[in-house]
Amino acid sequence: MHALIVVAHPDRDSFTHAVARAVTNEIRSPHTFEIADLIAEGFDPRYGEADLALFRNQSAPPADVVAEQKRIDRADALVLVYPVYWWSFPGVLKGWIDRVFTSGWAYGEAPEGKINKKLGRLQVHLLGIGGANLRTYARRGYYAAMRTQIDEGIFDYVGAAVKTSELILLPDADSPETHLETARQTGRRLFAEP
């Protein structure tokens, strides 16, 4: 089985990248993984004219979108590792979702309005790294809002099962090692038998 690990942080020495490495260090043969470092690879998150034309069924997908869709098509598991910016994804990751999870590929709409969820074979693992403490997330309802927006609003919409949805909150940790262990556990669970 194969995992696509998507990382959205500009600093390769960041805790976000350390979490991604902790996940991949637990993936053992015969399983494989690929890292999609969106910023290092220069992914353009801007939803432009070509994306709108695709949405309107007026053109084929742009080449960079097709390349990302092929990466996901090769994967059995999708792992998103990202810092929480303004209680959501960073812009590059949100733009990746906006541009790559297209109508016709990730979902379809039947004439009677029923949504055809096309990514049901994909398991999703979300590891968000937050700078606020758990009390802040709970008091303001941010964690519940993020789960509604991301877990349900994106992944349930396309039929992908969210198997892990973790907020790694550095202010609450005794040490970063505690959270790296959470990442390692996620890596060990990726292809574990149900």
DSSP string of 83-131, one letter each residue = E-BTTB--HHHHHHHHHHS-BTTTEEE-TTS-EEE--TT-EEEEEEEES
Output the CA torsion sign for 115, 96, 11, 142. negative
| pLDDT of the residue at 172 | 60
Are the beta carbons of 129 and 82 closer than 8 angstroms?
Answer: yes
**H helix intervals, the chain:** 15-24, 49-55, 63-74, 91-100, 134-140, 142-146, 157-158, 176-189
| pLDDT of the residue at 27 | 93
pTM listed for this prediction? 0.93
The per-residue pLDDT string of the chain (194 residues; one tens digit each, 9 = 90 and over) reads: 999 999 999 999 999 999 999 999 999 999 999 999 999 999 999 999 999 999 999 999 999 999 999 999 999 999 999 999 998 999 999 999 999 999 999 999 988 889 999 999 999 999 999 888 888 888 889 888 999 999 999 999 999 999 999 988 876 656 678 788 888 888 888 887 65
3-state secondary structure of 42: coil
| pLDDT of the residue at 190 | 83
| pLDDT of the residue at 103 | 95
Instruction: Measure the CA dihedral 126/127/133/135, to 10°.
Output: 30
DSSP string of 88-100, one letter each residue = B--HHHHHHHHHH
Tokens at 42, concatenated:
């220069």
| pLDDT of the residue at 192 | 79
Are the beta carbons of 119 and 160 closer than 8 angstroms?
Answer: yes
What would the pLDDT profile of 132-148 be if each residue is shown by its tens digit? Answer: 888 888 888 988 899 99
Tokens at 4, concatenated:
């696509």
3-state secondary structure of 6: strand
DSSP code, position 141 = T
